Amino acid sequence: MENPPGVGELTPPDRTLLGPGPSPVHPRVLRAMSTPLVGHLDPAFVDIMDETQDLLRYAFRTENEWTLPVSGTGSAAMEAAIGNLVEPGETMLVPTNGYFGGRMAEMARRAGGEVVHVDAPWGEPLDPADVQDAFDAHQPDVFGFVHAETSTGVRQPQVPELTRIAHSHDALVVADTVTSLGGVELRVDDWNIDAAYAGPQKCLSCPPGASPLTLNDDAMDKVLSRDTPSRSWYLDLSLLEGYWGDERAYHHTAPVTNVYALREALRLVAEEGIEERWARHRRVAGALKSGVEAMGLELEPDDDYWLPSLNAVRVPDGVTDTGVIDYLRDHYDLEIAGGLGDLDGEIFRIGCMGHGAREKNVAFLLTALADALD
Ligand code: PLP
């Protein structure tokens, strides 16, 4: 290119982000991101790493030593979990009730694993009896489930029952907690989850870039005693141990600014208190639910598996989802999303996550949605 491109100053629109993520970033997190960089091996950064890991343990409700932010988006933490825990030739059991179970399957295959399924329709959780049957039929080595399915707005209940079934078959359990960490009750230790990964851009209200991951000793023992190295060098947890473990030796250049952001986002969680935060999400999303129902709209999942952080609202007859979504964006600078996969065109997905989970956003959304549907 001969001449410099005439690109103007960056002025993104000021959207209210009430979709499936990213959620609105807290101003304190934005401020943390504008503080000066230090080196990723600087003793000051090592302290920041320790603090971030402690705060992550608090949010995950775990004592797991192996708790760290993986450099990359939620899919990087997901691939770190699956790619390290599934060895070539092993079998992973994954759910079919949403978009992200499909991604688990794809990652397990690429790790050299065989994939078997436990079925449930999109929009419904897994039934423990079906999980039991799938274990009896296939004896999988690893079981993955999605605690908060962002594509359907379903929260998987009965998690301790699912982990009990898996452990009675000597399998490890990987939980996708991308849309639950920091917003919906999640107890990694009490529920006996072996590995859980998350994304910072949902209920933690942090930009994407450094994604939480925690593994217990059983999971780490498996990682450290693999017969073959993980297929990914970058996400090989036995190598990442050198950086996030005691040694603090170079593996790759950590995304320093994203770690600052995550630390501040997690400090906000600790200040609020994790249980109070879960209660706030339930309260604010409850107001949203009552509001849309009062408008004559239907919230999809049953109360028993309602996911406060992601509300799936059925698109009413005579309306196209994209028409409403575009109207809200163009007239109100407001982001919500449509359905994916089996629910494409069927639902609106309205996020109630982190700093977005506030009453004023509910009032704004209901006013704007009523206008769009008028
Ligand atoms: N799992 C779930 C449940 C998600 O909602 C997402 C993203 O929306 C992911 C995994 C992947 O995360 P990312 O898009 O940050 O890579």
Q: What tens digit of pLDDT does each residue of 200-220 get?
A: 999 999 999 999 999 999 999
Which residue has its alpha carbon closest to ligand 1 atom 2?
178
What's residue 342's pLDDT? 87
Provide the pLDDT confidence category of residue 300 given band limits of 50, 70 and 90: confident
**Summary mean pLDDT of the chain:** 97
Gap between the Cα atoms of 183 and 275, Å rounded: 9
Question: Residue 139: pLDDT above 90?
Answer: yes
How would DSSP label each residue in 126-176?
PPHHHHHHHHHHH--SEEEEESEETTTTEE---HHHHHHHHHHTT-EEEEE
State mean pLDDT over 315-335.
Answer: 97
204 C-alpha to center of ligand 1: Å?
A: 13
Q: Is 21 in the pocket of ligand 1 (CB under 6 A)?
A: yes
The neighbour count for residue 226, using CB atoms within 10 Å, is 15
Gap between the Cα atoms of 181 and 47, Å rounded: 23
Nearest to 369 by CA among 284, 293, 270: 293
What's residue 103's pLDDT? 98
Give Cα 306 to chain centroid, integer Å.
16
Q: Is 176 in the pocket of ligand 1 (CB under 6 A)?
A: yes
Task: Dump pLDDT digits (tens) for 24-75.
Answer: 999 999 999 999 999 999 999 999 999 999 999 999 999 999 999 999 999 9
Q: Is 208 in the pocket of ligand 1 (CB under 6 A)?
A: yes
Bridge-based pairing state of the strands 347-351 and 310-314: antiparallel
Q: Kindly indicate whether the ipTM for this predicted assembly is greater than 0.85, answering yes or no.
A: yes
State whether residue 310 is helix, strand or coil: strand
Express as a percent the part of the chain with pLDDT over 70.
100
What's residue 313's pLDDT? 97
What's residue 267's pLDDT? 98
22 C-alpha to center of ligand 1: Å?
A: 10
Q: At what angle do helices 237-244 and 74-85 cross, to 10 degrees?
A: 120
Gap between the Cα atoms of 272 and 36, Å rounded: 26
130 C-alpha to center of ligand 1: Å?
A: 25
Question: Residue 105: pLDDT above 90?
Answer: yes
Ligand 1, from 178, 206, 258: best to mutate by most atoms within 8 Å of Cβ?
178
101 C-alpha to center of ligand 1: Å?
A: 11
Question: Residue 21: pLDDT above 90?
Answer: yes
What's residue 17's pLDDT? 98
Ligand 1, from 99, 145, 150: best to mutate by most atoms within 8 Å of Cβ?
150
Question: Residue 113: pLDDT above 90?
Answer: yes
Calculate ∠ Cα 94-100-101, nearest 5°: 10
Beta bridge partners of 364: none
Q: How much is the pTM? A: 0.98
What's residue 189's pLDDT? 98
Which residue has its alpha carbon closest to ligand 1 atom 15?
74
Residue 327 gets the label, from left (phi > 0), alpha (psi -120 to 50) or beta, of alpha
Provide the pLDDT confidence category of residue 225 given band limits of 50, 70 and 90: very high
202 C-alpha to center of ligand 1: Å?
A: 9
- Using CB atoms within 10 Å of the CB of residue 221, give its burial: 0 to 12 exposed, 13 to 18 middle, 19+ buried: exposed
149 C-alpha to center of ligand 1: Å?
A: 9
The neighbour count for residue 44, using CB atoms within 10 Å, is 8
Bridge-based pairing state of the strands 142-146 and 91-95: parallel
Q: Residue 269: enclosing H or E segment and its boundaries?
A: helix 256-272
The neighbour count for residue 77, using CB atoms within 10 Å, is 29
Instruction: Write phi, then psi, for 65 (nearest 5 degrees).
Output: -60, -40
What's residue 1's pLDDT? 87
What's residue 218's pLDDT? 98
Bridge-based pairing state of the strands 142-146 and 172-176: parallel
Task: Dump pLDDT digits (tens) for 341-350.
Answer: 989 999 999 9
Q: What is the CA radius of gyration of the chain?
A: 21
The neighbour count for residue 210, using CB atoms within 10 Å, is 28
199 C-alpha to center of ligand 1: Å?
A: 7
Of residues 300 and 238, more confidence is placed in 238
Gap between the Cα atoms of 176 and 178, Å rounded: 6
Gap between the Cα atoms of 194 and 192, Å rounded: 6
Q: Where are the alpha helices (DSSP H) in 273-374?
A: 274-294, 321-332, 359-373
Q: Is 178 in the pocket of ligand 1 (CB under 6 A)?
A: yes
Asked if residue 179 lies in contact with residue 28, where contact means CB atoms within 8 angstroms, the answer is: no
Give Cα 135 to chain centroid, integer Å.
25
State mean pLDDT over 157-186.
Answer: 98
